[in-house]
Amino acid sequence: MTPFRARFAPLAPLVLIAALALTACAAPTAPQTSSKGSPDDTFVLGISSEPDTLNPVLGYAVDGGSLLFDGLVSRNADLSLKPALAEKLPEADGTTVTFTLRKDVKFHDGTPLTSEDVAYTYQAVLDEKNNSSIRGDFAAIESVQAPDPATVVFHLKYPYAPILQRTTLGIVPKKLLDGQSLEGAAFNTKPVGTGPYTFVSWTPGDKLVLKANPSYWGGAPAIKQLVMAYATDDNVRATRMAAGEFDATVLPPKAAARFDGQSDLTVRRVPSADYRGVMFPFGTPVTGDVAIRKAVSLALDRSAMVDTILAGAGVPAFGPIAPDTTWYNPAITGSPTPDQAQAAQILDQAGWTMGEGGIRAKDGTRASFTLMYPAGDSLRKDLALAVASDAKKIGVDVQLAGLDWDAIEPRMAKDALVMGYGAPFDPDYTNYELFHSAFAGQGFFNPGNYKVPEVDALLEKGRETSDPAARKQAYDAFQQRISDDAAWAYLVYLKHVYVVRGQWTGIAPSVEAHEHETGGLFRNIAEWKPAS
């Protein structure tokens, strides 16, 4: 998607400069440095996107990617749930879910965690005046009560199968936020949580500095200071990793290839449910025509994208739910190689006839549209170039525009965009906001204004029933309908590629979402330890 405006920043996935004048960052100083190039007790992550806020209520690291906060539950490497602030996983049958809290948890300021903090956190998300971008994720919650300091009771409007997965949301201290407007609250930039790291400083556009919480209920981290240095440009991150400024970073597959086989560096390629695709705006004469959308999708050489752009680190994509997951509908799988003949036939039948310069036209309108991509994202740029090249072969002109996110956002209703989303947890994740008409035009949620009552009903059925078979049927039908409508032209599912300096134990890769900030491989960095 985009930066953290819509939920957690596009996305979705990660980022001191000393001598190089690439950006205006400054590395933390220390009297001695290790062979990693960072101070002995400091680990520097090169992150690709920066949050707008550090407040979970407003959407920061809602899916458990924060090191500052804990949720009631967290995830194992296999994505199964485990207790975090809760003593154990509760049963989630019916419309009442009861958690019992750990008794040994304190916020970073020394205040004990109580059920009032948990209830406040969820109530603040649901409070319309806070305008939380994640409120829709928790629409099934009727109320949250705190009958005693150790007990939290969720009352649901209907049985909601993913409710336990939603309780990865970081818990905030009620006493620091209650009674004030969350917009512009000091907490948003100087947070206090219960997590393994505590806040030190945040320099927007530069870096976020954290230090280990020595009193963390899960055990103090081995890495004593953690710096997240923000660098949106892929080439900048690669250069700074090579220069020794970063101890780890995430890179596009081709940019990471240079680090393969280097001494003291490990390149990790991690499977994900993170896709890239072309989001089509529905309110324009060209991309609003289903024939154009279907023809472009048929013309795409997804196999070539995987082989060349991803250097093999991915698979072709045909929908918003990843293959090899429980909820995937194999009926929507198309050919990874292009079918230009069928694409041309669809355009001919819809009245898009070949015209001057090999570009089709219909009723005086050229088959031409703009495809945007974030300028610093080399992977999306390469994918956009491939889409334009393949579309030209069937007489569709795609004009490319590499822009920053501030310039992209106001244009999404009329210009297409190479976007990224995806989660391996539950099909309700992201799909409800991306395709339900209630979210049409709400920033990076449903930016193309896709409005189909049948799809709305399927998404509502999927989240409001607890029967697995009924949910599977609903999500199969949902995938089929958006495929029939060619709502997006899905391109590829990625393997996330990381470069890590030094040898570490405790790294636990898992199938990743379109995560941002400290998600992905870095989600459990508090558990990493130097290899002996």
Residue 297 host element (H or E): helix 290-299
* Burial category of 24 from C-beta neighbours within 10 Å (exposed 0-12, middle 13-18, buried 19 and up): exposed
Structure tokens at 279: 């989001």
Give the tens place of pLDDT for each residue, 420-434. 999 999 999 999 999
Q: Residue 55 has what pLDDT?
A: 97
Q: Which of 198, 60, 175 is nearest to 190 (CA)?
A: 198
Distance of CA 8 to the CA centre of its chain: 7
Distance, CA of 5 to CA of 386 (rounded, Å):
28
**In contact, 148 and 98? CB cutoff 8 Å:** no
Neighbouring-strand partners of residue 433: none
> What is the residue-wise DSSP string for 371-427?
EEEETT-HHHHHHHHHHHHHHHTTT-EEEEEEE-HHHHGGGTTTSEEEEEE--SS-T
The pLDDT value recorded for residue 27 is: 35
What is the Cα–Cα distance from 315 to 313, expressed in whole angstroms? 7
| Whole-number Å distance between alpha carbons of 130 and 57 | 9
Q: Give SS3 for 250.
A: strand
Report pTM.
0.86
Chunked into runs of 10 residues, the chain (532 residues) has average pLDDT values of: 37 30 32 46 93 94 88 94 97 90 96 98 96 92 97 95 94 96 94 98 96 97 96 94 97 94 95 96 97 98 97 96 93 97 98 96 97 95 98 98 96 97 93 96 95 98 92 98 98 96 94 75 94 84
Q: In the structure encoding, which two tokens stand for residue 366, read together?
A: 């050229």
CATH class of this structure's domain 57-174: alpha beta
Give the tens place of pLDDT for each residue, 172-226. 999 999 999 998 999 999 999 999 999 999 999 999 999 999 999 999 999 999 9
Q: At 316, is the secondary structure helix, strand, or coil? A: strand
SS3 432: helix
What is 274-494's CATH number?
Answer: 3.10.105.10
Tokens of 229: 């240095």
For residues 135 and 120, what is the distance between their CA atoms, to the nearest angstrom? Answer: 14
| CB-neighbour burial class of residue 328 (10 A; exposed 0-12, middle 13-18, buried 19+) | buried
Residue 270 structure tokens? 């991690």
Instruction: Provide the edge-to-edge strand list for the sheet that holds 96-100.
Output: 96-100, 151-156, 141-148
> Which residues make beta-bridge pairs with 98?
153
Strands 81-83 and 365-366: unpaired
CA atoms of 4 and 15, how far apart (whole Å)? 14
In whole angstroms, how far apart are CA 83 and each of 104, 178, 324? 14, 26, 27
d(Cα 321, Cα 266) in Å, to the nearest integer?
A: 30
DSSP 3-state percent helix, strand, coil across the chain (nearest 5): 30, 25, 50
Q: What's the pLDDT score for residue 38?
A: 57
Q: Residue 450: what pLDDT? A: 98
Q: Are 7 and 53 in contact (CB under 8 A)?
A: no
pLDDT of residue 516: 56
**Helix or strand run (H / E) with residue 45:** strand 42-47
Q: How many helices (H) and strands (E) does the chain have?
A: 13, 21
- Would you list the domain boundaries of the chain? 42-55+184-271+497-530, 57-174, 274-494
Question: What pLDDT does residue 366 have?
Answer: 98
Instruction: Please determine, looking at this structure, whether the domain spanning 42-55+184-271+497-530 carries the CATH number 3.90.320.10.
Output: no
